[in-house]
Chain A
Amino acid sequence: MALYELTIKQLSDLLKNKKASSVEITKEYLERIKKLNPELGCYISVCEDTALEEAAKCQALIDREEDISPLMGIPVAMKDNICTRNIKTTCASKMLHNFIPPYDATVSGKLKDAGTVLLGKLNMDEFAMGSTNETSFFHKVKNPWDFERVPGGSSGGSAAAVSADLSPFSMGSDTGGSIRLPAAFCGVTGMKPTYGTVSRYGLVAFASSLDQIGPISKDVEDLALVLNVITGHDPRDATSLNIEYPDYTKALVNDIKGMKIGVPKEYIGEGISPEVRKSVLEALNILVSLGAEWEECSLPVTEYAIPAYYLISSAEASSNLARFDGVKYGYRAEKFSDLMELYCRTRSEGFGDEVKRRIMLGTYALSSGYYDAYYKKALQVRTIIKKEFDRTFDKYDLIIGPTAPTTAYKFGEKSDNPLEMYLGDIYTVSVNIAGLPGLVVPCGLDQKRLPIGLQLIGKALDEPTLLRVAYAFQQNSEFHKLKPGL
């Protein structure tokens, strides 16, 4: 097996046993990126020189056996909305096409300290707004399973890079499904942790109350290793939870006897493709064979989750993205005669259509006279959705369902109809609205050989249960080992 096919755990074992060096591994990835990225478009920036330097430094530590922590010497790639010191962080937008932050996101710092080697920055929908990666200013990302299809979004580059073996794991961000949807479409494992467990400091904000950074990897075991590094209280993020964080690898137990699973009927009823539905039910059968039980439950407010999500996220985005005005950094319009024109031209030229659409929607929702009817109403729906989940978790250990109604669709298929595209977020947005953890594992392929993702939703801070069930599932199935065959 080639080095690039291995998991973090396998690479780490090789490093510990001196059977491979970090430099070797990094080189192999850089070569593969050089070969495949022009076609796939996963990376916006590749850090060729610094990656090899970092790898050599890590290897020196490993050689002296000073530090052989689980991520030491392992390459990583980050979504391009996570700030990396002295490395361009563009949010896939013309607005920030030249922005080099003089600071690291907390997550970037933690991964650096853990000894990871940064391969580069990954493509995404502009400012994380989109489900297809078609809104990137630079180029689109292709789904490694079918180059005519979208990788899902907004962390499309993050999911496609892991799926195509262009990085052993990656970091994404999830505001309404942006880690889980592309993980499902690309056939990889991904997680949106509980809101507040991973610092948002240095994540360029889309919707502050919903955004959460999370990992995408080849399997659940790797996910736990990465969670151990990136979670934790951060005094620089007021919404970061100051609690005791567990060792997530302890949850990797192949025993789920008696586990009670709720399957919302709203998630497997109308609107879902029969193939996805079938695959989800088969996955549930595997879990039943391992001693778990499942039954249908109901989350009746699901139909209001999408309007609530688009109001809250757009309202926050309209304010968060106001700072991109051409005054201090990033893109500035070349021609202007006064301040108003500087603002208007910079923002008209610097933002793409989808971003503008959301800014306008959000600005409208917050305007005086409309605030109560839209933003405030959406917050009320948010409260009800939280309560519904609480009630459901009184009865079940976790909720399981599909990640998206369909498998990956073709480029252009939905981009002309934003509303239809927004509906594809139906199973993922509620999790962000309620701040819960959501984990996606591959659970099969449809007839076109496109991956299907199973979504596990847990109580707040109950990542261990999700990891445990997903781990047992992967111990007893081979779906996560299926490859696009590049």
Chain B
Amino acid sequence: MSDYEIVIGLEIHAELSTESKIFCSCTTQFGGEVNTHCCPVCLGMPGTLPVLNEKVVLYAAKAGLAMNCNIAEYSKQDRKNYFYPDLPKAYQISQFDLPLCSGGYIDIKPGEDTKRIGITRIHIEEDAGKLLHDEWESGSLIDYNRCGVPLIEIVSEPDMRSAEEARLFVESVKAILEYTGVSDCKMQEGSLRADVNLSVRKKGQKEFGTRTEMKNLNSIRSIVRAINAEAERQIEEIEDGGKIVQETRRWDDDKGISYAMRSKEEAHDYRYFPDPDLVPVMLTSEEIQNIKDTLPELPDKRKRMYVKEFGLPEQDAGLITASKHLADFFEEVLKYTKNIKAVSNFILGDLLKCLKEGDLEARDIPFPAQYLGEVVSMVDDGKISNTIAKKVISIMFETKKDPLTIVKEQGLEVVNDESALLETVKKIITSNPQSVADFKNGKDKAFGFLVGQAMKETRGKANPQILNRLLKETLEKL
């Protein structure tokens, strides 16, 4: 396998977060009752006509500028013709030869060095409806709510060489789209999905190998798995003396394998032509400059600021700023405490762990930033220990209760009562004679063990300073 190099290009489809659809005024909201977010226009009823939502152009241009693309002053919309029940007009309005954005790039950092991934183009198009196959035995049902929701398709150059690079690229795209407010990138709702174009070649070989395309991968995890599995499949095929067929494949994430869908010969002829119902999309250079001037801060810049202003290690800064929601949350917490390092540690250690366990994203953090600020302050004020703080965060995550209430209800305050702590110390010394002897013989480690036992006895609530002092004094008196 190490004799081979993997070549990957991605096509990422992102739903734009405009309020209304691309060619009508229907809402783009997710999760409405089936077929309630549609009208004669997005249903493609006879005689109805599309009128382009100008916000779509604005959002797509923002994405393009944030990814260093050229924005076309003249672009047009074309019809991509094919029959499928989820496509009510039997054509998708997209952009063929004159896309809105082209020639951009994103920098990723797979190792020590930065790597530039080219963006071939970004174009605007409409989403299709959704076929519902379940619970309907004699046929399928169609939900047209997603029909006409605006999308951008981001096409990369075949510049990526590993699943890891592809992951970093998708994460970067996701972060940029979130930061610019262009898309909310909710992958589980299908608002960000990717097609993977992949080929392999012997290291040192100049020409690309024959590529396959895997369609509609809707999580970063499945993108990574699909890439690894497909690369392996292709290499095995070649090693066994076979040939790669140019084809479209479907990735089955449950089974972890891909299936051939159709070969190049069976590929659709989409018969693209300019949509005569629409006029060209025109932007003046001033308008493009205006969009550029109003671009919000991008993740890379924010990361550099975190390193410089907050003194965070580069890796920590990168992890927090990769998600706009997480970075926003982080900065919000800093309004309630000045202990940056502690906030960063709790977020990267405990909060991310909770999110991951619940298969959630940063936007789903169930409690306000203020709560985490209070937790940090309580630690700093010696009201709870670090260990208890972790426990409080995990409880906040589940119950959404504020930390003070949690600490009170569960009796988690630090025990400062010296007489109570002295009792504990005495008890620990009595029940651990061996460790006491070790300590007396100069083994410092034994002291740590005894502190741990005492902590355990108080369920982590003992004030560590007082406990340390009392234990030391008592041992010395022995």
Contacts and interface: CB of A to CB of B under 8 A. Distances in A.
Given A201-B49, A203-B47, A322-B90, 19 more contacts: A89-B46, A99-B46, A103-B40, A103-B45, A201-B48, A205-B46, A237-B49, A237-B51, A238-B52, A239-B276, A319-B271, A323-B46, A324-B46, A325-B85, A327-B88, A363-B271, A366-B271, A366-B272, A371-B273
A96 B46 contact: yes
Contact of A375 (B89, B273, B275): B273
Interface of A: 81-83, 89, 91, 96, 99, 101-103, 105, 200-205, 207-209, 235-239, 315-316, 318-319, 322-325, 327-329, 339, 343, 363, 366-368, 371, 375
Contact of A367 (B90, B271, B279): B271
Contact of B85 (A91, A205, A237, A339): A339
29 contacts: A81-B47, A82-B47, A89-B47, A96-B46, A101-B40, A201-B49, A202-B48, A205-B277, A236-B49, A236-B51, A237-B51, A238-B49, A238-B279, A315-B273, A316-B276, A318-B81, A319-B90, A319-B91, A322-B90, A323-B88, A327-B85, A327-B88, A328-B43, A343-B83, A366-B81, A366-B271, A366-B273, A367-B271, A368-B269
A200 B276 contact: no
A244 B228 CA distance: 62
Nearest to A322: B90
B273 A323 contact: no
B79 A204 contact: no
A81 B47 CA distance: 8
Interface string B30-55: 00000000001001111111111000
A81 B46 CA distance: 9
A109 B83 CA distance: 32
Nearest to B279: A238
Nearest to B43: A328
A328 B91 CA distance: 15
A24 to B, nearest CB: 33
A325 to B, nearest CB: 6
Contacts of B52: 238
B271 A238 contact: no
A333 to B, nearest CB: 14
Contacts of A363: 271
Nearest to A235: B51
B295 interface: no
B368 to A, nearest CB: 43
Nearest to A89: B46
A368 B273 CA distance: 11
A239 B279 CA distance: 7
Contacts of A325: 83, 85, 90
Contacts of A343: 83
Given A323-B89, A328-B88, A238 B277 contact: yes
Contact of A319 (B47, B48, B79): B79
Nearest to A364: B271
Nearest to A102: B40
Contacts of B44: 323
A89 B46 CA distance: 10
B278 A319 contact: no
Question: Sorted from nearest, which 3 A-B pairs have the closest CB atoms?
Answer: A322-B90, A209-B276, A208-B276
B49 A329 contact: no
Nearest to B140: A339
A471 to B, nearest CB: 32
A238 B50 contact: yes
Contacts of B89: 322-323
The A contact surface, by secondary structure, is loop
Given A239-B279, A323-B44, A368 B271 contact: yes
Give the one of A99, A200, A325, A363 with max B CB within 10 A: A325
Given A238-B279, A323-B88, A83 B46 contact: yes
B469 to A, nearest CB: 79
Contacts of B420: none
Contacts of A322: 81, 83, 89-91
The B contact surface, by secondary structure, is loop
B142 interface: yes
Nearest to B277: A208
A204 B277 CA distance: 12
A185 B79 CA distance: 37
Give the one of B45, B91, B271 with max A CB within 10 A: B271
Nearest to B142: A327
Contacts of A101: 40, 45-47
Contacts of A208: 275-277
Given A208-B277, A239-B277, A375-B273, A200 B91 contact: no
Contacts of A324: 46
Interface string B70-98: 00000000010101010011110000000
Contacts of A82: 47
A238 B48 CA distance: 11
A164 B89 CA distance: 38
Interface string B252-270: 0000000000000000010
Contacts of B277: 205, 208, 238-239
A103 B48 contact: yes
Given A319-B91, A339-B85, A83 B269 contact: no
Give the one of B47, B49, B81, B90 with max A CB within 10 A: B47
Given A319-B271, A339-B85, A366-B81, A204 B51 contact: no
A238 B51 contact: yes
B47 A204 contact: yes
Give the one of B44, B91, B276 with max A CB within 10 A: B276
A453 B46 CA distance: 32
Give the one of A200, A209, A322, A363 with max B CB within 10 A: A322
Contacts of A209: 276
Contacts of B88: 323, 327-328
Contacts of B269: 367-368
B78 to A, nearest CB: 10
B284 to A, nearest CB: 18
A237 B272 CA distance: 22
A205 B89 CA distance: 12
Nearest to A376: B273
Interface in B273-305: 273, 275-279
B273 A319 contact: yes
Contacts of B40: 101-103
Given A238-B278, A239-B277, A368-B271, A319 B81 contact: yes
A109 to B, nearest CB: 12
Contacts of B271: 318-319, 363, 366-368, 371
Contacts of A375: 273
